[in-house]
Chain A
Amino acid sequence: MAALSHALTVERVSKHYGPVRAVDDVSLTIGRGAFVTLLGPSGSGKTTLLMAIAGFVAPTSGRILLDEMPITPLPPERRNFGMVFQGYALFPHMTVAENVMFPLRVRKVARPEAERRVAKALALVQLGHLADRLPKQLSGGQQQRVALARALVFEPSLLLLDEPLSALDKKLRAELQVELKDLHRRVGLTFIYVTHDQEEALSMSDSIAILRDGRLVQEGAPGALYERPATRFVADFLGKSNFLEGHVEAVRVDGFAYRVGPLRFVQSGMAEGLASGSAVLVALRPEKVAVLGVPPEDAGINTVSGTIAAWSYFGAAFALLIDTPIGRMQATVPAWRCPVEPAEGRPVQLAWSAEASVRVVAD
């Protein structure tokens, strides 16, 4: 099932519903064979953008190109994109095999050839033995695989997936994430995946595009987005973050020093456009905060003292909430090497290096 993969370009696409801008001037390039995730909270326009790519929603302005060819005026059935809908949208009156056969039937593929391809597609998702069942006789995970086989059987130019795992329980979802990623590698198609689940996006994608209120906020590889979020929204939505709001005290060649309330911290790099006195926002991941019983000796490290306000145990880690003079902070510590026994009211020292945090834009 090796297919020629295609690139997709979204060029300044907007979709307005009256005064509501569901998608607002989004430009995006999706490379050949990439697994790209459109990530955002509900109402961010990610599904509308996917529907515009699929052809169900006509953009108010802008163009969509498949490789070099504009596809904006084409109806969905002429775009030759595979699509897996939220809730799968399997045809309840057709068997698994008939469902998978459907795209070939409407393409008038000859019967023997169609049957051969259906068998191949079902084998690809390991469902050959269930070909004669009806969708309602299958489990959620199996239905999801049927939807995948149906979307892949006609060798589409792209595969679009609209929250395909959202109806499944957590464990099954994790399994299917691995399967989907594996499938992506085997078929070599370009996948465009929509989800509101940031963990799903991080674990599966080659690239993530984060949307908010119809606008593209940031785009990049999962690691780059996680380590260097550009805005407060991204830092908060993709994983968790502590936010330190302060004013710049001094700008240096290798970074800057800033003051939050009574405390002074240092940040390495990211000093572009800053001057002494300007407001600055710094995001700090909870897992990058060290929780110590005594203050560290290295003076180049940022520290703040506080008391544990609440804690939870997750097996692998402790999540702590710590009250400090600059507000409540979160810290995540691997449980097996937590240096202090978590207890409410226990005084602790929080410490992080100048490279651990990132400066973000307040939005």
Chain B
Amino acid sequence: MSRNGYDAIVIGAGANGLVTAHYLARAGKRVLVVEQHESPDPSLDIGWVPAVIVRDLGLAGAGLRIQEPDPWITAPLEAGGTLELSRDIERSAEAIRRISPADAAKWPEFCQRLRRLAGVLERLYLAPPPDIESNDARELARIVGLGLYVRRLGKQAVIDLARILPMSIAELLDDWFENDALKGALGALGIWHLKQGPRSGGTAFNFLHHHAGSRGGVFRPARSNITQALSSIPGVELRRGERAAVLAKNGRASGVVLEKSGEAILVPLVVSSADPRATLQPIAFELDPEFARAVDNIKARGVVARGTLALESVPGYATLCIAPSLDYLERAYDDAKYGRDSAAPYVEVQRTDGRLELHVQYVAPGTHEDLTHKIARALNAQPNQVQVQAAEESLYHGELTLDQILFMRPVPGWSRYRTPIEGLYLCGSGTHPGGGIPGAAGRNAAREIL
């Protein structure tokens, strides 16, 4: 314990930072969490909340609510009416049958096959990534065990895994379905937070990643108040409105300095849930040049704008998806490729706690004058009903592309939450398993640290 009484400082009070902090605290450490924002951003709590975290940290008693809307998506149809997909596979098949009997017939098997693959990811995600370079017998046994687990799921699962992960979501959906509205609504999940279009390889993996944690036939992650629940359980000290930078010298972390006050807090253990680039670039002089270059090379291109929609009355849907076809999404991406905002963006409206939240893609970081008009046009709404925040760099601190997952995340060979700076760890979305699974990286990191 250092003089100030803390054993560890965690930078960032998002779900991952708080989960790490609580796991460390449960192991007897005195932990201070420093957060730059004054209040939590509830719109970030989208994704699978692993049951093991809820159990370990007693979140159920802390008021954790997980919203799983039914139907989980409503997509307007060109010919009028909507396509509504429900949590019940049969009911969704009924809805799909009205637009395509052939697609309806395939729906149950599609859901079952993808559910099985998502199960493999879930298993991978609740532990540090396999270390394929390791010569440690236990690690090798774990990798072999994982291989056997997949093989036991059957021959088809092995083939699906190898075939589907590198595919584009468009190829995957075209293999199964014919209806544009269905493929658009599903395909949108494949491009979530990614600067890739539905025809780009690896988007099928992104689709599967965001399916993890959901039941079969539900292809939108749940939404929760996990950050709020984590903030309300005792055990860690939380200081808001302070931006902290890591102090490092001679390859060792010595604490943090608070930027506003200039106050230095010295501790032997610093864990950052912030973007790996933001954490490490300011101390690049302490890093090996190869490692520093790998950090600079992390792709984390922001493509999502978030905001709210104000309607006079509460709409009938829980989640409205404007992605009428895969081509619509691809054209939206074409604009992004050349550095423009999508002329016709993919827009999703999520109703939560009396608010209507917007997810708009593709939007480059920064503020954009005519963005509200484009969004309003896509939604058939008035521009003054749309409010958008300035778009940020990738919320996932690193795009979930195949070259940035597992043992390649956040940078190749440093996937075990450690950094070359002794005493400095990472625990945010930039680490395995990445964004969209609040708390999973935080728990894995804490277990590695301990």
* A and B interact: no
Residues of B at the A interface (CB closer than 8 Å) are none
Residues of A at the B interface (CB closer than 8 Å) are none
